[in-house]
Chain A
Amino acid sequence: MRAHDNHWLTRPSTVRILWIVFSIILGITVALQFLVPVKGAFAIEKTFGFGAWYGFLACVLMVLVAKVLGWLLKRPEDYYQSEPSAQESADEH
């Protein structure tokens, strides 16, 4: 069942086109705010591009927080299957 192919969707040229198309779409969603006033419960939502930068920064922040917590919380997959004593001594080193 294993076979590697060159599906049109995964070709670098297609990926580049996808990046360009999505960048244009992103630009349009922000530019549209010149024509369509954004509705929101609070004043700051109506400022230019708020949804865009807020969503982007929120995600960057969450990924970074997850990264930091990952250093503290991540353990090998077999953590709960392995002998605790061996595990604990491995943690200490």
Chain B
Amino acid sequence: MNIEMLPPALIMLAGAVAILLTRPGMVRNAIVLVAPLLTLWAVWLVPDGISSTAYYLDYTIELVEGSPVRRLFATIFAIMAFVGGLYAFRTARRFELAAAFAYGAGAIGVAFAGDLITLFLFWEVMALFSTVVVWCGGTEKSKAAGIRYAVIHLLGGVILKVGIEGVMVNTGSVDITAMSVTDFSSAMILIGILINAAAPPLSAWLADAYPESSPTGSVFLSAFTTKTAVLALILLFPGESILIWVGLYMIFYGIIYALLENDARRILAYSIVNQVGFMVVAVGIGTETAINGASAHAFAHIIYKALLFMSAGVVVYRTGLSRCSDLGGLFRTMPLTTVCGIIGALAISSFPLTSGFTTKTLISEAAGAQGLVWVYFLLAAASAGVFLHAGIKFPWFVFFQKDSGLRPKDAPWNMGAAMVIFAFACILLGVYPQLLYQYLPYPEDADFYKPGKVLFYLQLLLFSGLAFFLMLPLMKRTLTLSLDTDWIYRRMFFNAAKVGARALADIRDRAANDLNAASGWLSGWLSANWKTDGPFTRSWPISATALWIAALLSVYVFVYYL
């Protein structure tokens, strides 16, 4: 069997195992950099249609099924693993690197999964190894956050599995084909996928877990889970209109929570939810332009979001700090990190000449073409909001703002190189979008570089910038966190358990009191009657015994004759 016949995910998985087994040094470094490139090569060799099957129970399992959109997602996952590996290999722990690669393998496996069973299998691989990546943060907080993260994802996995079983029973087929939510099973599948997309009401897991991982771990985490969920939505639920409203909620949830947040990496985590919201809206619209928009935006998003997490990661790595209130003024000694962070911030804000502009605008265009007035204008407002919360807020508070007095060194060479590659990609896809458009699922010849279009976006974004600086006093950083639905499982259940425990304790106390009283009475009675001269212990005269026997016998005879 030739290497190109192997599922690309297995190449990546083999890389993960090899990283785990080799000592630190040139060999392991080579594996970290070569495994993703080999995977990328295998990804491009995957032909359209099913190319690898196996049998499981009575079902034919399609391990590898190629199509343009699947190859597109697998490509960016492999590129992400390469650049992420470059960023991480000198500082990340062995377990973290291996887990991150296995996690990436899971994402690539999902991208090529030809049936629901394979999809589920790789889905769980991702849940498992992403949890390990969170744990590799190595702090008490990351341990706790990792457990909460695992619980939510295992729950999502169970819901997904229930849906898949239902579809298998109802249709007798495990094929991945576009469906709509018509019954319980398809609804379960949709909910299971949406949990991984950080959709409401369970959005909180993302901003809870990702910022607790290591500076290198968060770079990997930002890329895979939510974007495989977007791909699964594209494959299974294109045009499911409820997704439009779910996505809009995610967009504004991400903006508002990021505005409230003080931790730099948590701001970026909330903005993942915000950006995935745009993609979910696009899948909900479901036209060819919209699906192109969702795919292209996912591709561009992985690059600029990883770039933003890389720049934040360098700051955390150099200073050990991630709260905006502790940072500021870092541009003096970290010029490269600052510039790369700003390029990522401009790209996420879809500034003209960046990848965000050429991909997110496809989604707005799709909404406009369908006559969805509300959606269109809410997306425009959201674009302004993205510039507000991620485009300016993140670089301003981390790199400028006040002089925190910190003078950390700039990025180590490998982290710098990784950032430069992705910063370059952000601009390349912004200047030359056809590079990406030719690989989209549907033919795309959009050209947004028309003076009128560019002018509109410049007005929108620059005046958002004006609003930011005019309203700076209202955005004073506070040492706070913001309550979210995770309050229910982090606090309410705990409180409920506490109240329950208190009620049980009350019952126990009352029972103990009653028992105490009863035993007190009993012991009083016993000691009264069995004391040395008590009725049951003192010596009675023989006449008394005879009298009692006579009395008992008379009672017996009387009862017998009744």
Q: How far is the CA of A48 from the CA of B421 in the complex (A)?
A: 40
Within 8 Å by CB of B406, from A1, A39, A49, lies A1
How far, in Å, is A40 (CB) from chain B's closest CB? Answer: 6
Assembled-state Cα–Cα distance A53/B459 (Å): 8
* A52 lies within 8 A of B260 (CB): no
Interface residues of A in 57-86 (CB under 8 A from B): 58-60, 62-67, 69-70, 72-77, 79-80, 84-85
Complex-state Cα separation, A60 to B407, whole angstroms: 34
Q: Is the interface of A mostly helix, strand, loop or mixed?
A: helix
A80–B491 CB distance below 8 A = yes
Task: Please tell me if the beta carbons of B368 and A59 are within 8 angstroms of each other in the complex.
Answer: no
CB distance from B20 to the nearest CB of A (A): 33
**Residues in B whose Cβ lies below 8 Å from that of A45:** 456
Cα distance A63–B451 in the bound complex, in angstroms: 30
**Alpha-carbon gap, A52 to B458, bound state (A):** 8
Residues of B within 8 A of A (CB-CB), count: 60
How far is it, in angstroms, between the C-alpha of A10 and the C-alpha of B329 when the chains are bound? 9
Indicate if the CB atoms of A80 and B490 lie closer than 8 Å: yes
Residues B483 and A75 in contact, CB atoms below 8 Å apart? yes
Q: Which residue of A lies closest to B404 (CB)?
A: A2
Query: A residues within 8 A CB of B483?
Result: 72-75
**Would you call A9 an interface residue if the criterion is a C-beta within 8 Å of the partner chain's C-beta atoms?**
yes
- Does A59 lie within 8 Å of B403, measured CB to CB? no
Q: Report yes or no: B471 in contact with A60, Cβ–Cβ below 8 A.
A: yes
A37 to chain B, nearest CB (A): 6
- B256 touches which of A5, A30, A33, A62 (Cβ 8 Å): A62
The answer on a CB contact under 8 Å between B452 and A54 is: no
A20, CB-defined interface residue at 8 Å: no
A85 cross-chain contacts in B, Cβ below 8 A: 498
B104 CB, nearest partner CB in chain A, Å: 30
Contacting pair A38 B381 (CB below 8 A): no
B289 shortest CB reach to chain A, Å: 12
Interchain CB contact under 8 A, B260 and A73: yes
- Report yes or no: A63 in contact with B474, Cβ–Cβ below 8 A: yes
A56 and B467 contact, CB distance less than 8 A: yes
Q: Closest Cβ of chain B: how far from A7's Cβ, in Å? A: 6
Interface membership of B23, Cβ < 8 A: no
What are the residues of chain B within 8 A of A54 when measuring CB–CB? 377, 380-381, 384, 460
Q: Please name the residue on chain B nearest to A35 by beta carbon.
A: B451
Contact between chains at A59 and B369 (CB < 8 Å): no
Distance A53 CA – B463 CA, assembled complex (angstroms): 7
B537 at the interface (CB under 8 A from A): no
B388, B490, B498 pick with most chain A CB within 10 angstroms: B388
Chain A residues, Cβ within 8 Å of B462: 22, 25-26, 29, 52, 55
By the criterion CB–CB under 8 Å, are B466 and A2 in contact? no
- Residues from chain A with Cβ under 8 Å of B384 in the complex: 54-56, 58-59
B464 CB contact (under 8 Å) in A4, A22, A59, A74: A59
Taking A2-B405, A51-B460, A55-B460 as contacts, is the C-beta distance between A67 and B474 under 8 angstroms? yes
Chain B nearest Cβ from A30, distance in angstroms: 6
* A63-B460 contact given A58-B381, A84-B491, CB 8 Å threshold: no
Whether B385 contacts A62 by the Cβ 8 Å rule is yes
A25-B462, A51-B456, A52-B463 given as contacts; is B482 within 8 A of A59 (CB)? Answer: no
Name the A residues within 8 Å of B426 (CB-CB).
none
- Whether the pair A41, B461 counts as a contact (CB closer than 8 A) is no
B45 interface hit (Cβ, 8 Å) = no
Q: Is A90 interfacial (CB-CB < 8 Å)?
A: no
Q: Does chain A have a CB within 8 A of B408? A: yes
Indicate the member of A5, A54, A62 with the most B CB atoms within 10 Å. A62
Q: Is A21 an interface residue (CB 8 A)?
A: no
Contacts of A33 in B (CB 8 A): 455, 459
In the assembled complex, which residues on chain A have CB atoms less than 8 Å from the CB atom of B331?
Answer: 9
Distance (Å) between the CB of B373 and the closest chain A CB? 6
CB distance from B388 to the nearest CB of A (A): 5
B452 contacts A36, C-beta separation under 8 Å: yes
Question: Bound state CA distance, A70 and B278, in angstroms?
Answer: 24
Q: Quick one: closest A residue to B381, CB to CB?
A: A58
Roughly how many angstroms separate A41 CA and B405 CA in the complex, as a whole number? 49
Query: B459 and A51: CB pair below 8 A?
Result: yes
B463 A62 Cβ-Cβ under 8 A: no
Instruction: Write the nearest CB–CB distance from A23 to chain B, whole angstroms.
Output: 8
Contact A76 B479 (CB under 8 A): yes
Q: Which residues from 408 to 456 on chain B have a C-beta closer than 8 Å to any C-beta of chain A?
A: 408, 450-453, 455-456
Task: Determine the chain B residues whose CB is within 8 A of the CB of A5 once the complex forms.
Answer: 332, 403
Interface residue from B373, B460, B498 paired with A84 (Cβ < 8 Å): B498
Which B-chain residue is minimally distant from A44 (CB atoms)? B377
* Interface bits B468-508 vs A (CB < 8 Å: 1, else 0): 10010011001111111000001100110010000000000
Is A3 part of the binding interface, using a Cβ–Cβ cutoff of 8 Å?
yes
27 A-B residue pairings within 8 Å (CB atoms)? A2-B405, A3-B405, A22-B465, A39-B452, A41-B367, A45-B456, A51-B460, A52-B460, A54-B377, A55-B381, A55-B461, A55-B464, A56-B384, A58-B385, A63-B471, A66-B255, A67-B474, A69-B256, A73-B260, A73-B484, A74-B480, A74-B481, A74-B483, A76-B479, A76-B480, A80-B491, A84-B494
The interface of chain B, by Cβ under 8 A from chain A, is 252, 255-256, 259-260, 262, 329, 331-332, 364-365, 367-369, 373, 376-377, 380-381, 384-385, 388, 403, 405-408, 450-453, 455-468, 471, 474-475, 478-484, 490-491, 494-495, 498
Having A59-B463, A59-B471, A76-B481, one finds 5 other A-B pairs with CB under 8 Å, namely: A10-B329, A29-B458, A41-B364, A56-B467, A58-B384
Residue positions of A touching B, CB distance < 8 A: 1-5, 7, 9-10, 22, 25-26, 29-30, 32-33, 36-42, 45, 49-56, 58-60, 62-67, 69-70, 72-77, 79-80, 84-85, 88
